[in-house]
Structure 1
Amino acid sequence: MTKPPEPALPSPERPRHADGPRGLRALPDLSYNTHSALVLALTFLAYMLYHASRKPPSIVKRELARSWPPFSDPALLGATDVAFLTSYSLGMFVAGHLGDRLDLRRFLAFGMVASGASVALFGLGYFLGLHSLAFYVVAQVITGLLQTTGWPSVVAIVGNWFSGRRRGLIMGIWNAHTSVGNITGSLVAAAMLGYGWGWSFAVPGGLIALGGVLVLFFLEPYPQYVGFGPSPIEPVNEESTDEEDSSTAGGAGKDRRDAVGILKALSIPGVVIFALCLFFAKLVAYTFLYWLPFYLGQTAIGGEYMSAASAGCLSVLFDVGGIVGGILAGFISDQLNARATTVAIFMYLAIPSLFLFHAYGSTSKVTNIGLMMICGLLVNGPYALITTAVSADLGTHKSLKGDSRALATVTAIIDGAGSLGAALGPFITGFISKKGWDTVFVMLALCAFVAAVLLSSNVKREIPQIIQNWRNCSTNTLSGNAGIMTKGTNFGDAKYLVT
């Protein structure tokens, strides 16, 4: 008689973090791939909404300059931009420090809801009929501080879930959230402009607040908290001693690691160089972000001037090019295994594209669109690569000796330095645009050149590696062993191995 098959043993339940998101706890167990896809989708949505909520000021600039005192002077419009970006850049260092020490999910969710309220606060000036410059400056300062909760958090979360040689491509595709957010924000703000410019702030503010609720209920920052990995990573107070850490880790079986300080993060090879590079690269990118709709509205394209809403809609094509640029930069840097070389190439090529757009963009709408998308590709590509893959690489640099709680801090340092440039660019543009747009484009070209030159030493170190890797690839292909290689990338004076 055939023995009946024994019933299958139930699979052991994966541990769940006690303070994990309620939405995930209500769902059945998900596979690692499903979890990681959910993380990518939610962080993509989150930062897309952050950027969408930043677009209204650029869309309503022309309307404010035309009919809303005291903004008849473009320099005062630039003052609100610099208020936001300065507070953003300074607050970024604090946000990164907090991001490595607090619950990333709650930190991000709080930032999104609070940012939504502060964005709507600016639009409240329309409904209340306020004409005080101080009110709008303060509103932008508050928004800038709250928006710093976004970038260190999402990069740290994605860095926790994804690593390896394809990080550049994955994060390049994922970084399309920046351009998608700009496009979404431009279209929503332009669509609401017909109802009054206050609605151009109120609606994006409401959308990011709703996104924060989704993050709170469904985003898990650490794979360890849902059973993928050795143990949850618990933050450690700075006051704790090494003996306390080791005894606690040994007794409780948890991986408790110190979050690095700013000085230690700055000592990581490559952090300072890429931070300075991003300062100039982001200056160029954010000048386009804040002033492109205004520039298009003041420029006769094909002999015709566009309305503020039409200029805002057309400007989204710069970000369409930026999506392609971010993906292309990530793919090329993975193939070359050389982040600095990829960034430098894009920045050098951006210089002639800027002059071509300014010189021939007014010829026709088709020419304008083509040149604008090329500019977006070359300007946003390196900016996207530095703020994603490069930041994640450096945040897990081997010099940290396994410390995994540096991602948010390193990301905040690099992006904070970039945001100082982002604050400076639109502010200067508000003044020098009075002398003509030729001066503005010369400034942008000089900044792109400096960004590329700053990476010269890194490029010199990477070029021999690129040549050697190509030779190895050719040799391995001929011998039938293609693909079995170990590659390295230099960041500063130390070699970082990409596994």
Structure 2
Amino acid sequence: MRSLAPGIKLITSFSRDSWYRFFILIVTFVFYTTYHLSRKPISIVKSQLHRNCSYVVHPADLNITDNDTWCDWAPFDQNNYQYLFGVLDNCFLVAYAIGMFFSGMFGERLPLRYYLSSGMILSGLFTVLFGLGFYWQIHALWYYCLVQALNGLVQTTGWPAVVACVGNWFGKGKRGFIMGIWNSHTSVGNILGSLIAGVYVSSSWGLSFIVPGIIIASAGVICFLFLVEKPEDVNCTLPQHHESVEQEPLLRTASSNEEISSTNTSTAVEPAEDHTEAISFCGALRIPGVVEFSLCLLFAKLVSYTFLYWLPLYIANVAHFDPKEAGDLSTLFDVGGIVGGILAGVISDYSGGRATTCCAMLIIAAPMLFLYNKIGQNGLPTTIGMLLWCGALVNGPYALITTAVSADLGTHECLRGNSRALSTVTAIIDGTGSIGAAIGPLLAGLISPTGWNNVFYMLIAADVLACLLLSRLVYKEVRGWCGYSSRQRGFKEI
């Protein structure tokens, strides 16, 4: 009997369910990569919109009346350009934060495939419109603010939808590790967005937006054609969290155990509508841990998004790189973020302590941010090393909260198997974090004229507050490791 080729053996060794789960991970990874890919160009183009024109060689036939601002792009050619950049960032981020609180509820009530694909296509349209401002010679601030705000609203379709889709396909198992790898789409999107924008930033910055806009719109078409929302849609096996709550290895009080036991003996399977009814906003807030992790993410995302929007300009101003070099160098922060997200997932899976993992990384991140500001520009090797470390420690907790923690809370035992809460819980956590994402870049724009040192002090303070907000959850996790159970204290652990 002839043996099968090694490649065919490898392919057939995986079940049909495994192939579908792998496919869902890949396509959702690509989809959210394009979301971040289309957000990144604005941070690269900032240093092109306002430059030091005395270092730029101008054409001989150009009649220059003001040598200080001739190469800048109005209205960002004035001394208040940093404030205007902050306003531009906030038009996107405030709209994103507001829209996110409603997006999760829409995501639970609408087909994810339609919701996600329409969001990507519209986001591509608004990203292209921003870039067309270069070719249409638009110098009105309101135009760029309006396009950014509309883009922020439609981009809220992305995160709740992709997390809900992945949560539908994967159980609790090694969720931290799987989602730690999967969540690298954020950093991969930032890196690709920086590199693509950097190609065109010095010649035709409009293409820095148009090309990413076309990419995310194309991904929206692919989403419409190929996304599978739930395992049951293709007759695949349901993941662990869809089954009876008694199979979840979570601590319960004796009274709650009796209640669940009596429920399961009286009816073998609960009515389907109990499992499919969309949860209310207030009901999602009552899930243990949602409020603490949401507020923690507010400050963690404040730090992450300040780096996302201001790091290239900081590098250009402090280390005196040109816009393309500063953009390329800033991608190292996102490379560190990939490693940090995976590391946070692995550690939290092994230890069982999501909150403790986040808190430890945030504690280490605070002094690392201080060191980066003080010695981060002392030579290229030092800059590279500090950017990698800061990226890992800043983005690690952010990645863990928005993925594994959100999925855990969205399928918490108190929901009794109702996975439709996942989109709302994810939207609440990320929406609260997006408030911080809006505040951080705005504060950076207001504070940076007084010196970059003050910006970093603000970021360090945000890290410390994020740690404090997790202190109650960390305390409970540590007590659990020390052998204390909820039955001993008469309350229900998270």
The question of 1:123 aligning with 2:131 is answered yes
C-alpha distance in 2 between matches for 1:254 and 1:271? 24
Q: Is the 8 A contact 2:116 2:158 kept in 1?
A: yes
Match of 1:21 in 2: none
C-alpha distance in 2 between matches for 1:254 and 1:273? 30
Deviation digits for residues 77-125 of structure 1 (CA, Å, limit 9, x no counterpart): 1101011000000000111110011100111011111100011111111
C-alpha distance in 1 between matches for 2:407 and 2:190? 23
Match of 2:92 in 1: 84
Aligned length: 425
RMSD: 2.0
C-alpha distance in 1 between matches for 2:275 and 2:338? 38
Residue 194 of structure 1, CA deviation:
3.4
Match of 1:298 in 2: 317
The question of 1:47 aligning with 2:47 is answered no
Residue number among 179, 187, 190 corresponding to 1:182 in the alignment: 190
**Sequence identity (%):** 51
Structure 2 letter corresponding to 1:37: F
Local SS of the residue matching 1:156: helix
Q: Is the 8 A contact 1:338 1:466 kept in 2?
A: no
Q: Is the 8 A contact 1:337 1:466 kept in 2?
A: no
Residue 165 of structure 1, CA deviation:
2.8
Deviation digits for residues 382-421 of structure 1 (CA, Å, limit 9, x no counterpart): 0000000000000011111221101110000000000000
> 1:205–1:343: structure 2 CA closer, same or farther, 3 Å change rule?
same
Structure 1 letter corresponding to 2:223: V
Residue number among 360, 365, 369 corresponding to 1:345 in the alignment: 360
Where structure 2 has 5 or more consecutive residues not aligned to the other structure, the ranges are: 1-13, 52-71, 243-268
After superposition, where does 1:254-333 map in structure 2 within 5 Å?
257-300=276-319, 305-333=320-348
Residue number among 179, 182, 196 corresponding to 2:204 in the alignment: 196
Structure 2 letter corresponding to 1:142: L
Residue number among 44, 58, 72 corresponding to 2:43 in the alignment: 58
C-alpha distance in 1 between matches for 2:366 and 2:32? 28
Q: Is the 8 A contact 2:231 2:238 kept in 1?
A: no
> 1:166–1:230: structure 2 CA closer, same or farther, 3 Å change rule?
closer
Q: Is the 8 A contact 2:290 2:425 kept in 1?
A: yes
Match of 1:414 in 2: 429
C-alpha distance in 2 between matches for 1:253 and 1:227? 18
> 1:254–1:445: structure 2 CA closer, same or farther, 3 Å change rule?
closer
After superposition, where does 1:101-116 map in structure 2 within 5 Å?
101-116=109-124
> 1:421–1:225: structure 2 CA closer, same or farther, 3 Å change rule?
same
Match of 1:378 in 2: 393
The TM-score with structure 2 as length reference comes to: 0.83
Residue 214 of structure 1, CA deviation:
1.1
Residue 256 of structure 1, CA deviation:
6.2
C-alpha distance in 2 between matches for 1:30 and 1:453? 45
Match of 1:16 in 2: none
Q: Is the 8 A contact 1:46 1:208 kept in 2?
A: yes
C-alpha distance in 1 between matches for 2:465 and 2:386? 22
Structure 1 letter corresponding to 2:102: V
Local SS of the residue matching 1:100: helix
C-alpha distance in 1 between matches for 2:219 and 2:158? 12
Residue 255 of structure 1, CA deviation:
8.2
Q: Is the 8 A contact 1:65 1:74 kept in 2?
A: no
Residue 465 of structure 1, CA deviation:
2.0
C-alpha distance in 2 between matches for 1:164 and 1:440? 39
C-alpha distance in 2 between matches for 1:254 and 1:395? 17
Residue number among 446, 458, 461 corresponding to 1:431 in the alignment: 446
Per mean C-alpha deviation after superposition, the further-off stretch among 442-451 and 221-230 is: 221-230
Q: Is the 8 A contact 1:91 1:148 kept in 2?
A: yes
Residue number among 474, 481, 488 corresponding to 1:466 in the alignment: 481
Deviation digits for residues 59-87 of structure 1 (CA, Å, limit 9, x no counterpart): 00011123111113110011010110000
Match of 2:405 in 1: 390
Local SS of the residue matching 2:205: coil
Deviation digits for residues 165-193 of structure 1 (CA, Å, limit 9, x no counterpart): 30011000100000000000000010121
Residue 30 of structure 1, CA deviation:
8.0
C-alpha distance in 1 between matches for 2:449 and 2:123? 32
The TM-score with structure 1 as length reference comes to: 0.83
C-alpha distance in 1 between matches for 2:92 and 2:420? 28
C-alpha distance in 2 between matches for 1:127 and 1:266? 46
The question of 1:150 aligning with 2:158 is answered yes
Match of 2:75 in 1: 70
C-alpha distance in 2 between matches for 1:365 and 1:431? 28
Match of 1:4 in 2: none
Match of 2:470 in 1: 455
Q: Is the 8 A contact 1:297 1:308 kept in 2?
A: yes
